[in-house]
Structure 1
């Protein structure tokens, strides 16, 4: 092979190497971005699951209170007390989550 062919092959190889390195960097950046996005989505999903569980618990408690066989005045008072407990429990959970 003559010198010109070797030079042109070397330049072509160098160009291909630069393209591969550029593509590799772009893929690494994309993987990093996707990992961050995945972590954010997992965190968001966990928070939504916690909210859902809280609402389900509130619903169960409300259902229990509604089914109690007491007069109307006692029911209202009991609901208020239970709602206060729920608020306090939610604040404790929020505080512990921090």
Structure 2
């Protein structure tokens, strides 16, 4: 009789342990998925920050060009040339970061 009770307790403990192990495995999967999502979001934030920085640079360049150039034709040409230089510089920076 005592052995039956001990066997039942042991089986109960074993069942609880299996459930805990299953919960642990599930929690680890959710954690791994969350960590992947965090990495993705961090990369996205970094990309957006770079875009914002580029827009600010372009805005500053436009202001400089407008103050430097007197007529509209020269302003447009200068803007295009500066934007081309900026794109090339951005490519170089991205290449160096990799």
What's the TM-score once normalised by structure 2's chain length? 0.85
* 1:91 partnered with 2:91: yes
What's the TM-score once normalised by structure 1's chain length? 0.85
- State the Cα distance separating 1:48 from its structure 2 match: 1.0
Bigger relative contact order, structure 1 or 2 (CA pairs below 8 A, ≥6 apart): 1
Give me the whole-angstrom Cα distance separating, in 1, the residues matched to 2:69 and 2:4.
Answer: 99
Mapping for residues 58-97 of structure 1, pairs under 5 Å? 58-68=58-68, 70-97=70-97
| RMSD across aligned positions (CA) | 1.8
Give me the whole-angstrom Cα distance separating, in 2, the residues matched to 1:76 and 1:18.
Answer: 71
May I ask how many residue pairs the two structures share in their alignment? 98
Runs of 5+ consecutive residues of structure 2 not aligned to the other structure: none
Equivalent residue, structure 2, for 1:24: 24
Distance change >3 Å, CA 85–CA 55, structure 1 → 2: same
Runs of 5+ consecutive residues of structure 1 not aligned to the other structure: none
3-state SS of paired residue (2:70): coil
